[in-house]
Amino acid sequence: MAEPRDLAAEVAATAPRYRLAVRGPRFRGRIGGRRGHGVGSSMEFVDFRDYVPGDDLRQVDWRGYARTNQLRIRLTQEEVAPHVDVLLDTSASMASTGGKERAVRLLALAMLRWAQREGAVARVLALGAAAVDPAVEPFAGTATEPALPAVPLRANGIRVLLTDGLWAGDPTPLLRRVATGAAFVVFVQVLDPWEIEPAAEGALTIVDVETGARHEVQLDVATAAACRERVARLCDGLRATVLAGGGVHVRTSAADLATMCSRDLLPGSVLEPA
């Protein structure tokens, strides 16, 4: 496992160049820089309403009063810092290789950093568990069915799901529940390069890191192609489900943070230049 100090250094070197490209209509949260769910004190005009005593006189539309002799209040958009919940898949498959584990930890830490820079209240929640520290959280889960975190998710917040999506069970119910009440859902699927493009390596004994099952396989060209096809089909299914729920799906191959950001997250509209 990578040292937390190394992870933090890599995040510190790469994260400032990007910010979360969230597009949710209305967030909830503390005062911030994102358009909120309700009426606020930003400069963006929303509507007028009749004045009632107690309203802030600074919001009175004095120009309209001059024309119509009626006191009306200018309503502006609320600006908030959205809640960010990073849902981290802590199953053992996330650490099937060292590169994959490091990439997941980097992404989780980077998500926290980007959220904090927005002034948001961010936290990392393990699927089926509570808040965790992504730098040290061991990936040892063996559950075959994904589950929501044990703590409630905050409504109208940004929910980032960091997982490899390699569940034996159907992930659709989880994805729907994640999308429910969320302002914006980001599905980041992290896979090892070998999982995306398995090579014909000949005879192998494969060990399922979650179930411990051992199988021998002749990983020839045909088998590798079949594996690639099954992974692609799985990713397409996840992508379709996420997109149907209004979220964003990005599949990234485990690498260093800068590469993943520039190659996958930025084109996938998860990030935008800072």
Which residue ranges make up the site for other proteins (CB under 8 A)? 93-94, 96-100, 164, 166, 168, 191-192, 194-195, 199, 201-211, 213-218, 223, 226-227, 230-231, 234
164 three-class SS: coil
Whether residue 144 contacts residue 171, with contact meaning beta carbons closer than 8 Å, is answered with no
- What the block records as the tokens of 15 is 């994260």
- What the block records as the tokens of 146 is 């994904």
Least separation, in Å, of the C-beta of 33 and other proteins? 38
Shorter beta-carbon distance to other proteins: residue 99 or 134: 99
Q: Which amino acid is at 268?
A: G
Shorter beta-carbon distance to other proteins: residue 24 or 165: 165
Give the DSSP letter of residue 144: S
Shorter beta-carbon distance to other proteins: residue 156 or 253: 253
Least separation, in Å, of the C-beta of 125 and other proteins? 21
Please state the φ and ψ torsions of residue 110, each to the nearest 5 degrees.
-65, -40
Least separation, in Å, of the C-beta of 175 and other proteins? 18
Residue burial 213-231, b: 16+ Cβ < 10 Å; e: rest: eeeeeebeeeebeebeeeb
Report the distance separating Cα 68 and Cα 79, nearest Å.
30
Shorter beta-carbon distance to other proteins: residue 96 or 156: 96
Least separation, in Å, of the C-beta of 161 and other proteins? 16
172 three-class SS: helix
Report the distance separating Cα 236 and Cα 226, nearest Å.
15
H or E, element range at 224: helix 221-244
Report the distance separating Cα 2 and Cα 135, nearest Å.
8
Shorter beta-carbon distance to other proteins: residue 68 or 218: 218
Shorter beta-carbon distance to other proteins: residue 84 or 219: 219
- What the block records as the tokens of 225 is 């192609």
62 three-class SS: helix
Q: Give the number of other Cβ atoms within 10 Å of residue 205's Cβ.
A: 8
Least separation, in Å, of the C-beta of 229 and other proteins? 9
Shorter beta-carbon distance to other proteins: residue 167 or 184: 167
Least separation, in Å, of the C-beta of 99 and other proteins? 7
Dihedral of alpha carbons 108, 134, 7, 234, sign: negative
106 three-class SS: helix
Least separation, in Å, of the C-beta of 9 and other proteins? 22
- What the block records as the tokens of 167 is 């569940």
Least separation, in Å, of the C-beta of 272 and other proteins? 30
Shorter beta-carbon distance to other proteins: residue 39 or 224: 224
